[in-house]
Amino acid sequence: MTTHRTARTTAKSAEDKADARRELAAQLHASITDQVAALVDSDVWRAYLDHMAAFHSYSTGRVAVFDPSNSGTQEWRLAA
């Protein structure tokens, strides 16, 4: 016995798959939104932000000042 697929069956199947993907995306979006809202309202998030605020932030130009290979001189090699 041979089974034949029709264009209608294939189209319906693709449509069902697309609907399933949309539903999954909506569920994931809702889950992520809820989890982010819970995180932002938590004391753990506040502690993380306070901890990160203690670190200095340097621009790439300022970091280059501290990099001996960008100094243009070889004096740092003589000190070693």
Blockwise average pLDDT, block size 10, the chain, 80 residues: 59 88 97 93 90 76 61 52
Q: What is residue 65's predicted lDDT score, i.e. its pLDDT?
A: 61
pTM: 0.48
Q: What is residue 56's predicted lDDT score, i.e. its pLDDT?
A: 73
Q: What is residue 2's predicted lDDT score, i.e. its pLDDT?
A: 59
Let me know if residue 2 belongs to a domain. Answer: no
**Range(s) of the domain holding residue 59:** 7-79
Let me know if residue 37 belongs to a domain. Answer: yes
Split into its structural domains, the chain has a count of 1
The alpha carbon of 50 is separated from its chain's Cα centroid by a whole number of angstroms, namely: 21
Q: What is residue 55's predicted lDDT score, i.e. its pLDDT?
A: 80
